[in-house]
Amino acid sequence: METICSLDIQYSKAISTLLASPSPQALQGYFDQLLAKRQCSGIKIRQSNDVGKGVYAEANYMEGDLVLKDQMLVGTQHVSNKVDALVCSYCFRYIGSIELQIGRKLYLQGLGKGEGEEFELGTSKHIQKEGCLAESLHLRENHSVMAGHSDSDSASSSKSEDNAYLPLPKEVIESLINGELVLPYSKEFVLPSVISCVGGCAEEHYCSKSCAEADWESCHSLLCMGERSGCRNMEALARFTEHANGTNDIFHLAAKVISSTILKCEKFKAAQFKDNEPYFGPNALGTNLLLEAWRPFSMGYKRRWWDCVALPNDIDCNQEASFRMQMRELAFTSLQLLKDSIFCEDYAPLFSLEIYGNIIGMFELNNLDVVVASPVEDYFIYIDDLLFPKKEEAMEVTQPILKALGDDYSICCQGTGFFPLQSCMNHSCSPNAKAFKRDEDRDGQAIIVAVRDIHTGEEITISYIDEDLPYEERQAALADYGFKCTCPKCLEESKHCSSLEK
Ligand SMILES: [Zn+2]
Ligand SMILES: [Zn+2]
Ligand SMILES: [Zn+2]
């Protein structure tokens, strides 16, 4: 029942041009330019025949030094994580306030859904004047519960143990969301206010106007569900979103890549018309512009997703072929939904299954987890570190909230992203660097720090896996990335293994 994508056949030439490996000069040019733009002079990307791309030190680093701060090309927060953390859809910074973060999470948990409809932040923030009095009266009635010194309930609440989950009254949750209830010392943890999507959707929120505009221009304007969206078929887009939410976040990223390539190409076209001068030399026709817009993604190592995705442990080897076929079908279904929503004839090759599969495969092979520490966790630690009597006073208010949040109070923002420079770093089981968020790193950038001294000229390596696993397990884990590791540690241990066999 193999499905055939007609675009694969019709545009086979354009597709192979898009998927061709860039020439060494093109690759060098792209990365030199990118490093210059980031004002990052301490590293260089070099390409060699045997290991492909690699990142090399152009300066000496000491253990703990920052080696690279890398901005993602595309990224997304995991759908299931959206309940836990309200972050800027573009830079992943936490937004709103400690109160809003907590209230929103409790509200969404109460609805029992981690995805789908987002409730209106805009309206809840400015609570209506008339309702205000009633609201605050309500709040005062419930305040005794909040503060934990209710007289009649105290017997029952003291019975339930410290860790027991206790829901908060709806009114309290509302007052956290609308800003009426201010938690003690939350002023120490000021977050940027919530900026709505330029296109008027309720799904995406931002930390600033500049993030909202950057996201809109780079990819969101075609994928927005708001009234200003450039998407042709909103129902199809809703189906695409639902499908991706229910199957794999990676499809959201693939949609962003396609959307951003189209938007960039449109921009190039507009600039050409305006200047009345060819933008890319005399032969700058459609394909060249498309290639130029596609350039950042042409640099990433790619394979078809269904060919490179790791076989799950519970799938038997003899079921491999049918598993890979299923993955291909899944991608095909997702692509058809995306095509129904934003297809444009000028960019037809981008909607071929071959390109879609390779984009997703690029993520599968290169993506880095995006993690941003939670200010809510910091807040509760801060309260816990206060001294008597401040701590006891504050805890009267915060303790019931902690109980309502349960063990999940400290869940951080989690997502996945493709980072152009970090993804060039090769693996080693005894790496000299690692991805590591320092206290001051509060957004979605990838941070690479040295784990030991690195000298000029040395290759900078990170570990893709848990490098403390035994040799065989490491090799098995790395097989999912499509290579056999020959780092010094593996060479040493493989010698040891083979001598044991004898
Ligand atoms: Zn932002
Ligand atoms: Zn939007
Ligand atoms: Zn190794």
Mean pLDDT of successive 10-residue stretches along the chain, which has 502 residues: 83 94 92 93 88 92 96 96 96 97 93 49 35 32 34 38 72 95 96 96 96 97 95 94 96 98 93 62 60 94 92 89 96 97 94 97 93 96 96 95 90 96 95 94 96 97 94 90 89 76 50
Task: Output the CA 370–ligand 3 centroid distance in Å.
Answer: 24
Nearest ligand (C-alpha, residue 198): 2
Nearest ligand (C-alpha, residue 443): 1
Task: Output the CA 458–ligand 2 centroid distance in Å.
Answer: 44
Helix (H) or strand (E) holding 450: strand 446-450
66-70 sheet: strands from edge to edge: 66-70, 446-450, 433-435
Residue the block writes with tokens 């006073």: 393
Nearest ligand (C-alpha, residue 477): 3
432, 385: one domain: no
Nearest ligand (C-alpha, residue 219): 2
308, 457: one domain: no
Task: Output the CA 207–ligand 1 centroid distance in Å.
Answer: 4
Nearest ligand (C-alpha, residue 202): 2
Would residue 78 count as lying in a domain?
Answer: no
Nearest ligand (C-alpha, residue 464): 3
154, 252: one domain: no
Task: Output the CA 95–ligand 1 centroid distance in Å.
Answer: 8
CATH no. for residue 489?
2.170.270.10
pLDDT at 218: 95
Would residue 319 count as lying in a domain?
Answer: yes
Q: What is the DSSP string of 246-278?
A: HH-THHHHHHHHHHHHHHHHHHHHHHHHHHTS-
Task: Output the CA 378–ligand 1 centroid distance in Å.
Answer: 20
Q: Residue 97 and residue 194: Cα distance in Å, rounded? A: 9
337, 226: one domain: yes
Task: Output the CA 220–ligand 2 centroid distance in Å.
Answer: 6
Task: Output the CA 200–ligand 2 centroid distance in Å.
Answer: 6
Long-range contacts of 256-260 (CB under 8 A, 24+ apart): 256/74, 256/76, 256/219, 256/223, 257/74, 257/297, 257/359, 258/338, 258/342, 258/347, 258/350, 258/351, 258/356, 258/359, 259/219, 259/220, 259/221, 259/222, 259/223, 259/342, 260/74, 260/218, 260/219
Helix (H) or strand (E) holding 427: strand 426-427
468, 494: one domain: yes
State whether residue 120 is helix, strand or coil: coil
Task: Output the CA 229–ligand 2 centroid distance in Å.
Answer: 7
Task: Output the CA 204–ligand 2 centroid distance in Å.
Answer: 6
Task: Output the CA 91–ligand 1 centroid distance in Å.
Answer: 4
Task: Output the CA 236–ligand 2 centroid distance in Å.
Answer: 16
Torsion of CA 70, 435, 32, 255, to 10 degrees: -50
Nearest ligand (C-alpha, residue 86): 1
396, 356: one domain: no
pTM listed for this prediction: 0.85
Would residue 86 count as lying in a domain?
Answer: no
pLDDT at 166: 78
pLDDT at 161: 47
Query: Which region, left, alpha or beta, applies to residue 75 given φ > 0 means left and ψ of -120 to 50 means alpha?
Result: beta
Contact 83, 406 (CB under 8 A): no
- b (16+ CB within 10 A) / e for 466-486: ebeeebeebbebbeebeeebe
Helix (H) or strand (E) holding 57: strand 52-57
> Quick one: angle between helices 12-19 and 353-366, nearest 10?
20
428, 464: one domain: yes
390, 353: one domain: no
Beta bridge partners of 369: 416
Instruction: Count each helix (H run) and each strand (E run) in the chain, helices first.
Output: 20, 12
Would residue 467 count as lying in a domain?
Answer: yes
Task: Output the CA 152–ligand 2 centroid distance in Å.
Answer: 48
pLDDT at 499: 62
Contact 61, 453 (CB under 8 A): yes
Task: Output the CA 112–ligand 2 centroid distance in Å.
Answer: 24
Nearest ligand (C-alpha, residue 220): 2
Nearest ligand (C-alpha, residue 489): 3
Task: Output the CA 124–ligand 1 centroid distance in Å.
Answer: 21
Peptide bond into 192 cis (omega under 30): no
Task: Output the CA 241–ligand 2 centroid distance in Å.
Answer: 13
Nearest ligand (C-alpha, residue 191): 1
Nearest ligand (C-alpha, residue 193): 1
Total domains, the chain? 3
Would residue 80 count as lying in a domain?
Answer: no
Task: Output the CA 487–ligand 1 centroid distance in Å.
Answer: 38
Task: Output the CA 408–ligand 2 centroid distance in Å.
Answer: 29
Task: Output the CA 373–ligand 3 centroid distance in Å.
Answer: 30
Task: Output the CA 468–ligand 3 centroid distance in Å.
Answer: 10
Residues 6+ apart with CB under 8 A from 98: 183, 186, 189, 191, 375, 376, 379
Domain range for 382 is: 97-190+375-410
Task: Output the CA 367–ligand 3 centroid distance in Å.
Answer: 20
pLDDT at 271: 84
pLDDT at 286: 56
62, 132: one domain: no
Contact 338, 259 (CB under 8 A): no
114, 178: one domain: yes
Would residue 77 count as lying in a domain?
Answer: no
Task: Output the CA 415–ligand 2 centroid distance in Å.
Answer: 19
Would residue 260 count as lying in a domain?
Answer: yes
Nearest ligand (C-alpha, residue 89): 1
Would residue 85 count as lying in a domain?
Answer: no
Q: Residue 53 and residue 391: Cα distance in Å, rounded? A: 53
Task: Output the CA 488–ligand 3 centroid distance in Å.
Answer: 7
DSSP structure class, residue 190: -
